[in-house]
């Protein structure tokens, strides 16, 4: 899974979609509704963003994953997306989890910043017990005392989840580490730890991205990453489709 | 502020209301909608709980504070409560914060388990910028490596907030520390650090409480606490109304 | 217990000793050997510092507490000090703890930055099992994700220790919070939580202190603190000697 | 680097040395002096352990790395070991770091449980500034709120160190994760993140190990690990010597 943090314009989303498809990505990510710490920051293109994302994905034969922020958005987002992703800050929004249990599309549930693995699995249980059995977990870093990186990626959560649950687990090194030149080694590390997939932020012009530019990869970096990751996956007896 | 964790029955809520009023509490707390880590735990009495809470508070001349879990509950809860409280897990539920910005009642915003003071104030800003200027902050412990207590109460956040913001800050030592015999020293500590109020869980029969029994005070403990807290407040030049 | 972070000069240590004695302090603190994160920072006056500390304390009828950094310093420091204090970074230096078990003076053991209460008590056990039964514990803040304060003071550790151990526990709000105007509310909070004593940094000229100036109290602040703390101690049924 | 947590007997250390050599290990690890949280736990075979380690390593053409706990042990350990390793709890024992600055053998400095990357590099600076330029860093997990694993391995520290420092960095997944079946994926992850080496605990009979049995690999697991790690190293353009 690859794509920009936020959908910003037609040009941007088509350019990124084409380049990640060429490197072998299968799913296009992009945010149309953006949860932001401050109420005064850019909040996303909303439905227009969803339309652009869908159009670009269809053109390049990709699937769409995008964030849903609350129950009122589920119907709208399901019209455009193949997978609904739930942000870390909503991991214990129980009303929302119940709503997702009634959704018809697969849900990717990000781990909360201070959530234990136990609590994360319990939140997945809210969705599963509502009748939606397509839940994917996504490790995206936890909050610790270390400030040299944006978050501390808990790579160890991957083998723990593999043992405790049948749910697939992917990793989001872009948010996990938050610094562009460290996204690649972290993505490799997660694949080596047997993650079932990787989601990274790729931008056609990271230096002018409206959100998260500093952690978005250039297209060539993504191509290089895909090459390395294929070999690592094979080394541990897995295959990238 | 004092009262049970969950509203469980008419008998329970009236007994607790009477006893906390006699010790000098001004506001009755109690949960009718309970956010629970597991989908299989007791989820609250819902509207019936709100009615009981209102009736008990009115009889004993108390105000009501109770938890709201999402936008769809705001109208209902406003009919019964004087203050809406927002749980720690919803502190960065931005759609909800925007909804609360349009609410007519004061909002008490609990600090998220892994939220920095900065992020907490930013979340308050979402409510304030929506037009609701009656926001109260509530410190309730953060998540750290220490497991001897339920959470680590960040008493230091109280003087930090006092300096950075004009908003009142209260403390919730019941959740902050999570062990009954430590709630009293922690409540005293928060008042000594100049908190503007204290919210504690009191139950008429803690050993049979449906939720959080192990951290709820007996009525006599609450009476003793109120006595000590009055003297401490005076020692630092404040008065308990 | 009060005094400067580091002993810097005769004038400084006598001025501080006189002022804290007048406000009611019983023990003079001051560092002659300074453990510093960087090898290029000020490392202390060493034996000359110990002599100044002893002289000032004797003149004003105070006891001396000062830091020992390793076994080779124990004999020297015992000549001048009444209590040996062990820094947080040495809390699990087991060779040293064994050496302290053979020392003849009381030992104050600071909690490590990431030490659980359990591990802290185990470290005290190393000293006790060596034959030295005079151990005082000192809570001085733990490391968490919050960066608004230097450390997060775990006030809750005070009642936990009170229940689990017979050892006295004091608090060091100067290091715990690390910001001058927040030291006073935190000192009050720790007394309200039933700490057996408080250690604070006081300096005659904090703005020119060689170490920790930003968290040292002015003399008048210390006098005010002592007044408030006396009332709080009485409110909870204790007395300051 | 591979070997048992503690040296326990001649039979044990020779068996492990032979097996790890066959799988391609270059350095034999083993503790003769064991720092233990409790004073009542097994403390190591001391000099006898060093002799056994040296003999086994020499027979199988391996180098020896073993822990030194304080200045008084440096001379003794240098007689037997090729690399001195410094435990996490001694990372800010400054007197000791200065002593290591005068040692003649390379030093491997483990990261403290709550040490920032910045502080870790500063501690290395103590050794370097003393004249010993052979310092190796070792990431071994930090302390966080997550209790599903022994520590949280900060794999992200590897690329951060690579960028900030010229010092080699290795990883210790055995302590980092603390559960046998998760050591292998974590070792692979660290190599994929470009660590310069890996240190793992291998035991000929983990179920009867005196220390850390639950995280020690069986010999066949170590062989499998070495095979996978070779392919990953090549995928990222590196070679295992």
What is the spatial distance between Cα C144 and Cα A143, in angstroms, rounded to a whole number?
9
CB contact under 8 A, B235 and C236: no
Walk across the sheet containing A197-198 and list its strands: A197-198, A169-171, A135-139, A107-110, A83-86, A63-67, A27-29, A2-3, A200-201
Task: Give the relative orientation of helices D10-23 and D47-59 as an angle to the nearest 10 degrees.
Answer: 40
Q: Which of residues 16-75 of C touch D (CB under 8 A)?
A: 35-40, 69-72
- Inform me whether the C-beta atom of residue B160 falls under 8 Å from chain C C-beta atoms: yes
Mean pLDDT of D20-29: 94
Q: Indicate yes or no: CB of D236 within 8 angstroms of CB of A154.
A: no
Q: Kindly state whether C157 is in contact with chain B, defined as any CB-CB distance less than 8 angstroms.
A: yes
Quote the minimal CA–CA distance from A230 to chain C in Å.
Answer: 36
Contact A7, A13 (CB under 8 A): yes
Percent of all residues in chain D with a pLDDT value above 70, rounded to a whole number: 100
Q: What is the Cα–Cα distance from B10 to B29, expressed in whole angstroms?
A: 14
- Up-side HSE of residue A232: CA atoms within 13 Å toward CB? 33
What is the mean pLDDT of the segment spanning C50-76? 95
CB neighbour list of residue B199: distance below 8 Å, 6 or more residues apart: B1, B2, B27, B29, B65, B138, B170, B171, B172, B174
Neighbouring CB atoms inside 10 A of C63's CB total: 16
pLDDT value, residue D38? 85
Partner-chain residue, chosen from A114, A177, A193, that has the shortest CB–CB distance to D185: A193
Q: What is the DSSP letter of C111?
A: P
The rounded distance, in Å, linking the Cα atoms of B120 and B134 is 15
pLDDT digits (tens, 9 = 90+) for C32-48: 988 888 888 878 888 99
**Number of Cβ atoms within 10 Å of the Cβ of D133:** 12
CA distance D126 to D109: 11
pLDDT confidence tier of residue D15, bands split at 50, 70 and 90: very high
CA A65 to chain centre: 8
Residues 6+ apart with CB under 8 A from C167: C124, C135, C136, C137, C161
Q: Which chains touch B (3 or more CB pairs under 8 A)?
A: A, C, D
Alpha helix stretches (DSSP H) within chain A = 10-23, 47-59, 71-80, 94-101, 117-129, 157-164, 173-177, 180-192, 219-235
**Does D210 score more than 90 pLDDT?**
no
Here the tokens at position D159 are 């690329």
Cβ proximity of B7 and B57 under 8 Å: no
CA D208 to chain CA mean position, Å: 21
Judge whether A224 is closer than 8 Å to chain D, CB to CB. no
Interval D25-35 mean pLDDT: 90
Residues A23-47 pLDDT 10s = 999 999 998 988 888 888 878 888 9
Find out whether C7 and C45 touch, Cβ atoms under 8 Å: yes
In the block, tokens 């060493």 appear at C46
**Two tokens at C147?**
């960066």
- Closest Cβ–Cβ partner in D37, D72, D114 for C122: D37
Quote the strand ranges of chain D, DSSP E: 2-3, 27-29, 63-67, 83-86, 107-110, 135-139, 169-171, 197-198, 200-201
B145: closest chain D residue by CA: D145
Nearest CA in chain C to A143: C145
Give the minimum alpha-carbon distance from D40 to chain B in angstroms, rounded to a whole number.
22
Closest by CA position to C179, among listed B156, B186, B140: B156
Q: Supply the pLDDT for residue D176.
A: 86
pLDDT at C237 over 80: yes
Binned average pLDDT, 10 residues per bin, chain A of 241 residues = 88 94 93 85 87 96 95 94 96 94 97 95 96 97 94 96 96 91 94 94 88 88 92 86 72
- Of the two residues D5 and C88, the one the predictor is more confident about is C88
Ranges of chain B with pLDDT below 70? none
Q: How far apart are CA D46 and CA D29, in angstroms?
A: 14
Structure tokens at A136: 């994917």
What mean pLDDT is predicted for residues C200-217?
Answer: 88
Nearest to B218 by CA among B175, B168, B183, B176: B183
Check CB contact under 8 Å for A37 and B92: yes
Q: Pick C4 or A169 by higher pLDDT.
A: A169
Tokens of B122: 């930013």
What pLDDT is attached to residue A92?
94
Q: Quick one: pLDDT at residue C35?
A: 80
How far apart, in whole angstroms, are the C-alpha atoms of residue C118 and residue B143?
Answer: 17
pLDDT of C235 reads 87
CB-closest option in A118, A194, A231 to D231? A231
Nearest to A72 by CA among A90, A99, A94: A99
CA distances from C2 to C12, C26, C90 (A): 13, 8, 22
What is the pLDDT, as a whole number, of residue B67? 95
Q: Could you tell me the two tokens for D151? A: 């520590």
Note the pLDDT of residue C236.
87
Which of B147, B155, B236 has its CB closest to that of C116? B147
The verdict on a CB contact (< 8 Å) between A146 and D116 is yes
Instruction: Write the CA distances from C69 to C36, D36, D57, D116, integer angstroms.
Output: 11, 20, 36, 22
B143 close contact with D: CB closer than 8 A: yes
Task: Determine whether the interchain pair A144/C145 forms a contact, defined as Cβ–Cβ distance below 8 Å.
Answer: yes
Which residue does chain B place closest to C189, by CA atoms? B189
The pLDDT score that the predictor gives to residue C117 is 97
**Helix, strand, coil % in chain D, rounded to nearest 5:** 45, 15, 40
- For B182-210, b where at least 16 C-beta lie within 10 A, e where not — what string? bbbbbbbbbbbbbbbbbbbbbbbebeebb
Crossing angle of helices D71-80 and D94-101, rounded to 10°: 40
Nearest to B235 among C152, C186, C231 (CB): C231
Give the pLDDT confidence score for residue B100 in this predicted structure.
Answer: 97
Tell me the C-alpha distance between A206 and A221, whole Å. 12
Burial class (CB in 10 A: 0-12, 13-18, 19+), B124: buried
Is D33:D44 a contact under the CB 8 Å cutoff? yes
Give the residues across from B135 on adjacent strands.
B107
pLDDT tens figures, C116-174: 999 999 999 999 999 999 999 999 999 999 999 999 999 999 999 999 999 999 999 99
Mean pLDDT of D44-69: 94
Chain D interface disruption, residue of A156, A160, A194, most D CBs within 10 A: A156
pLDDT at position C57 is: 96
| Beta-ladder partners of D139 | D171
pLDDT of residue A208: 86
**Strands (DSSP E) along C150-190, which ranges?**
169-171
Neighbors of chain D with 3 or more C-beta pairs under 8 Å: A, B, C
* C-alpha distances in Å from residue B97, one per residue of B92, B104, B105, B125, D43: 8, 13, 13, 9, 55
- CA-based angle C168:C195:C181, to the nearest 5? 135
Distance separating alpha carbons of residues D53 and D49, to the nearest angstrom: 6
Residue B44's nearest CA partner among B18, B79, B73 is B73
C77-86 pLDDT, tens digit per residue, is 999 999 999 9
- Whether B200 and B164 have beta carbons less than 8 Å apart is answered as no
Collect all residues of chain D within an 8 Å Cβ-Cβ radius of residue C97.
Answer: 39
Tokens found for residue A216: 């978005």
B93–chain A Cβ distance below 8 A for any pair: yes
Q: Which helix (H) or strand (E) holds A3?
A: strand A2-3
Task: Compute the distance between CA of residue B83 and CA of residue B6 in angstroms, rounded to an integer.
Answer: 16
B153 contact residues in C (CB cutoff 8 A): 155-156
CA distance B194 to B199: 14
Strand order in the sheet with C63-67: C197-198, C169-171, C135-139, C107-110, C83-86, C63-67, C27-29, C2-3, C200-201
A89 reaches B (C-beta below 8 A): yes
- Location of structure tokens 């993140």: D193
- Could you tell me whether strands B169-171 and D107-110 are parallel, antiparallel, or unpaired per DSSP bridges? unpaired
Task: Tell me the ipTM for this assembly.
Answer: 0.90
Vertex A160: Cα angle to A156 and A164 (nearest 5): 165
pLDDT tens sequence across B127-165: 999 999 999 999 999 999 999 999 999 999 999 999 999
Q: Which of these, A87, A81, A64, lies nearest to A17 by C-alpha position?
A: A64
C193 against D235, higher pLDDT: C193
Mean pLDDT of chain D: 93
Measured between alpha carbons, how far is D207 from B145 in angstroms, rounded to an integer? 28
pLDDT tops 90 at residue C2: no
Q: Pull the structure tokens for residue C30.
A: 């001051």
3-state secondary structure A26-65: CEEECECCCCCCCCCCCCCCCHHHHHHHHHHHHHCCCEEE
Distance from the B190 Cα atom to the nearest Cα atom in chain A, whole angstroms:
24
- Partner residue facing C89 (CB), from D93, D98, D143: D93
Contact B147 D147 (CB under 8 A): yes
């Amino acid at each position: 899974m690859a794509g920009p943090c936020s959908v910003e314009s037609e040009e941007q989303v088509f350019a990124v979609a084409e380049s990640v498809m060429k490197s072998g990505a299968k799913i296009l990510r992009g945010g149309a509704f953006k949860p932001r710490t401050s109420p005064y920051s850019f909040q996303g293109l909303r439905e227009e963003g969803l339309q652009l994302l869908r159009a670009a994905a269809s053109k390049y034969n990709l699937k769409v994953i995008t964030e849903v922020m609350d129950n009122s958005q589920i119907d709208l987002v399901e019209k455009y997306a193949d997978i609904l992703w739930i942000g870390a800050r909503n991991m214990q929004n129980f009303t929302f989890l119940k709503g997702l249990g009634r959704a018809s599309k697969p849900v990717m549930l990000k781990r909360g910043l201070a959530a234990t693995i136990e609590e994360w699995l319990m939140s997945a249980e809210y969705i599963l017990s509502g009748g939606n059995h397509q839940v994917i977990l996504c490790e995206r870093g936890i909050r610790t005392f270390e400030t040299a990186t944006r978050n501390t990626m808990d790579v160890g959560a991957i083998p723990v989840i593999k043992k405790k649950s049948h749910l697939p687990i992917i990793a989001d090194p872009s948010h996990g580490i938050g610094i562009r030149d460290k996204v690649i080694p972290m993505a490799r590390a997660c694949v080596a730890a047997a993650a079932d997939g990787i989601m990274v932020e790729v931008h056609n012009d990271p230096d002018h991205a409206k959100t998260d530019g500093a952690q978005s990869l250039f297209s060539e970096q993504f191509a290089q990453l895909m090459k390395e990751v294929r070999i690592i996956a094979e080394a541990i007896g897995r295959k990238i489709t």
